[in-house]
Amino acid sequence: MNILITGIHGFVGSNLVVALKEHHNLYGLDIVAPAKEGVIKTFSWKDIEPASFPIQKLPKFDAIIHLAGKAHDTKNQAVAQTYFDINTGLTRKIFDFFIESSAKKFVFFSSVKAAADSVVGDMLTEDVVPAPVGPYGESKIKAEEYILDRLKAEDGKLKVGSCDGKGVYILRPCMIHGPGNKGNLNLLYNVVRKGIPWPLGSFENRRSFTSIDNLCYVVEGLLTKEVASGIYHMGDDEALSTNELITLMCAALGRKPCIWKMNRRMMERCAAWGTLLHLPLNSERLRKLTENYVVSNAKIKAALGIEKMPVKAEDGIVKTIKSFSDKSNLK
C-alpha cells in the first residue's frame, strides 16, 4: 500500500514507520521534511492544496493516517486557540484531501480526552456522550464532529456520503507509551529515580495505558482488514495502578519501592490548602493522580477478530521503563 502519514516525525509516527516500512510504501506530511529511513518522501502541508500542488501530481495513496496535532499541555500554558487551529483545522484540511483522493482508508488519531476528562462507571466505552474538558479535548471532538458530519449513517453503519467504499476510523487511544516517549510516565520515572517517596499509596486507582507496539498492531489491522468505519477506543488489555507503576520502575532501577500510605483525608485536606495557596499539590492535581481511568478495548478487538492484544500491559510498561533507564545510564 501507498500510505501517507501526517506528523510522521513524531513519537507515534516514527514507530509506525518501523512497523509498516517492510510491507508498505510510506510517505510523510509534516512541518519539517528531513530524510527518514523507510520514508520515500515527506511533503509539506501546502503540497496538498490543489492551488499550489495539484492532487494528480501527488502519488496515489491507498490510505492516510492523520497523527499531526497539538499535544495535551499538562502545564496549561498553551493558548487555547492553538489547539483548534491545529487539532481541528489540520484535520479538516487532510480529511477534505482524503475525500477527493483515491485513498480508501483514513485513520484519525483522536484521544479518549475527546470523550471524557473523567470516567463515570467502571470503564469508558464508545457509546459515551462526549464531554471533553479543556481546549485539547474540545478541539479533538470538534475534529471528530467534522469527520462525522461528512459521513452518512445508514443501517447503523458509517459511510462516506459521496465516496462509498471508503473506511474511516476515529481512533481514541489513552496514554501512549514506548521507547522514545517523553510524556507523563517519564516524569514519574524521574521522580522515582531521584528516590522521592510516593505519598499517595493509600489511593488504589486503576488506569489504562496504550503500548506503542499494540497501537501499531491495531493500525496495521485497520489498514489491511475489512473493518467497519466508526469510533474505536484503544488501550492495553490490563489496567494498572500508580502503585504498580512505581513498583515496576523501582524493579527496573534495582530498588525497593518507597510508597507511603498517608492518610487519605489528610492528603485531601493538604490538597485543598494547596488549591488556596497555589501549591504544586492541589485538589485538581490530586484527583488526576489518583482517579480511575479505565478504557474498554472490546470494540476494536472484536472488529479485528482478536481476543487479546499482542503485548501485555505490564510487558509494555517494562519495555518503556527500561528505555528510560538506558537513557539515564548514558548521561
35-86, pLDDT tens digit by residue?
899 999 999 888 887 665 555 578 999 999 999 998 866 555 568 898 999 9
* Among the listed residues 184, 298, 292, the one whose alpha carbon sits nearest the alpha carbon of residue 235: 298
Amino acid 50: pLDDT:
66
Question: What does the pLDDT average to over 189-200?
Answer: 89
Domain annotation covers residue 153 = yes
Position 196 in a domain: no
Is the residue at 200 inside a domain? Answer: no
**Does any domain span residue 107?**
yes
Spatial separation of the C-alpha atoms in residues 207 and 174, rounded to whole Å: 9
Q: What are the angstrom distances between the C-alpha of 75 and each of 24, 138, 184, 287, 318?
A: 38, 17, 11, 15, 26
Using one digit for the tens of pLDDT, what is the confidence trace for 255-301?
A: 899 999 999 999 999 999 999 998 878 888 888 888 899 999 999 99
Contact 3/61 with Cβ under 8 angstroms?
yes
For residue 161, the model assigns a pLDDT of 46
List, for residues 153-190, the tens digit of each pLDDT value: 544 455 554 456 799 999 999 999 998 887 778 888 88
Place of cell 499494540: 214
Three-state SS annotation for the chain: CEEEEECCCCHHHHHHHHHHCCCCEEEEECCCCCCCCCEEEEECHHHHCCCCCCHHHCCCCCEEEECCCCCCCCCCCCCHHHHHHHHHHHHHHHHHHHHHCCCCEEEEECCHHHCECCCCCCCECCCCCCECCCHHHHHHHHHHHHHHHCEEEECCEEEECCCCCCEEEEEEECCEECCCCCCHHHHHHHHHHCCCCECECCCCCCECCEEHHHHHHHHHHHHHCCCCCEEEEECCCCCECHHHHHHHHHHHHCCCCCECECCHHHHHHHHHHHHHHCCCCCHHHHHHHHCCECECCHHHHHHHCCCCCCCCHHHHHHHHHHHHHHHHHHC
Angle between helices 212-224 and 11-20 (to 10 degrees): 60
Report if residue 106 sits inside a domain.
Answer: yes
- Asked if residue 23 is part of any domain, the answer here is yes
Q: What is the pLDDT of residue 108?
A: 98
Q: What is the pTM of this model?
A: 0.89
pLDDT digits (tens, 9 = 90+) for 104-157: 999 999 999 999 999 988 899 999 999 999 999 999 999 999 999 987 654 445
Does 6 reside within a domain? yes
- When comparing pLDDT for 254 and 219, which is higher? 219
**Contact 1/24 with Cβ under 8 angstroms?**
yes
Looking at residue 72, what is its pLDDT? 65
Q: CATH number of the domain that 132 lies in?
A: 3.40.50.720
The count of structural domains within the chain is 1
The grid coordinates of residue 196 equal: 522521592
- Mean confidence (pLDDT) of the chain: 89
What pLDDT is stored for residue 225 in this prediction?
95
How many other CB atoms are there within 10 angstroms of residue 286's CB atom? 20
pLDDT band at 103 (very low <50, low <70, confident <90, very high): very high
CA distance 33 to 44: 7
pLDDT score for 60: 93
Mean pLDDT value across residues 188-195: 88
- The answer to whether the beta carbons of residues 133 and 114 sit under 8 Å apart is no
Residue 26, in any domain of the structure: yes
pLDDT value, residue 182? 75
pLDDT at position 230: 94
Domain coverage including residue 141: 2-173
pLDDT at residue number 77? 55
pLDDT given at position 165: 78
Position 47 scores a pLDDT of 86
